[in-house]
Amino acid sequence: GAVVSQHPSWVICKSGTSVKIECRSLDFQATTMFWYRQFPKQSLMLMATSNEGSKATYEQGVEKDKFLINHASLTLSTLTVTSAHPEDSSFYICSACPSGFNEQFFGPGTRLTVL
Amino acid sequence: AQSVSQHNHHVILSEAASLELGCNYSYGGTVNLFWYVQYPGQHLQLLLKYFSGDPLVKGIKGFEAEFIKSKFSFNLRKPSVQWSDTAEYFCAVTSKAAGNKLTFGGGTRVLVKP
């Protein structure tokens, strides 16, 4: 149980385009999902907390207009990188917290490369 | 605010050697502590976690960690490593006060030589 999937697993796009990444909890409901970014050889940095039915909470320094988060259902959160630039190239990882649990389950990540 | 520091950035050791990775956190309240492993090209996997109770926690693949509250530490140990333990290891802390947000340490890259 407690499986989290991400789609796509990797994406290459041109500078200036927008990219949407999906995070799904496959066998549980998650009122809260988290989005992280991991640069090469670095740790995971929390970008935002996604709450079902309400606005996401962004960490300091993360542009909310650039990284649009939508958590429309209890099993799906999406991260859209708008007007992507090469410096946005990174590994984006989501996690989901089953309702009533205080443990996060991680997705496999999405590697974004912006040319 | 909570924070986590991992003392070693890189560790190289031979098979059958013992491994200990340091992790210290800073937060005065009640915390939940985790160790995650990330094998090359793979996603994060939970090794073990501490919420309460016995401070010596046993996880998967022969790993264990000890929560020492007085030292704000949660060091990871394995008595005898294998080549397949080559990976990056992350310590993380969360707390109810922080809305269950995970704060990760910088990670320790472990290379086990055959």
Structure-token pair, residue B19: 């491994």
> Which residues in chain A touch residue B102, judged by CB atoms under 8 angstroms apart?
34, 44, 46, 95, 104
Would you state the pLDDT for residue A1? 66
Identify the helix (H) or strand (E) that includes residue A40. none
Cβ of A32 within 8 Å of Cβ of B49? The answer is no
For B10-68, what is each residue's pLDDT tens digit? 999 999 999 999 999 987 788 899 999 999 878 888 999 999 999 999 999 999 999 99
Q: Are residues A102 and A95 in contact, defined by beta-carbon separation less than 8 angstroms?
A: no
Tell whether omega for the bond before A108 is within 30 degrees of 0, i.e. cis: no
- How far apart (Å, rounded) are the C-alpha atoms in residues B93 and B97? 12
What percentage of chain A has pLDDT greater than the value 70?
99
Cβ of A32 within 8 Å of Cβ of B100? The answer is yes
Cβ of B102 within 8 Å of Cβ of A34? The answer is yes
Q: Which residue of A has its CA nearest to B51?
A: A102
Q: What is the mean pLDDT of chain A?
A: 92
β-bridge mates for residue A7, sequence order? A22
Helix (H) and strand (E) counts for chain B?
0, 12
Q: Is the pLDDT of residue A15 over 90?
A: yes
Would you state the pLDDT for residue B29? 81
Which member of A34, A97, A103 has the closest CB to residue B49?
A103
Q: Is the pLDDT of residue B100 over 80?
A: no
Mean pLDDT confidence for A85-92: 95
Mean pLDDT confidence for A67-80: 93
For A26-61, what is each residue's pLDDT tens digit? 999 998 899 999 988 788 999 999 988 888 999 999
Instruction: Give the three-class secondary structure for A83.
Output: coil
Q: Are residues A82 and A66 in contact, defined by beta-carbon separation less than 8 angstroms?
A: yes
Q: Which residue of A has its CA nearest to B6?
A: A43
Cβ of A34 within 8 Å of Cβ of B96? The answer is no
Q: Which residue of B has its CA nearest to A51?
A: B99
Confidence band (pLDDT; 50, 70, 90) for A92? very high
Strands A32-38 and A44-51: antiparallel
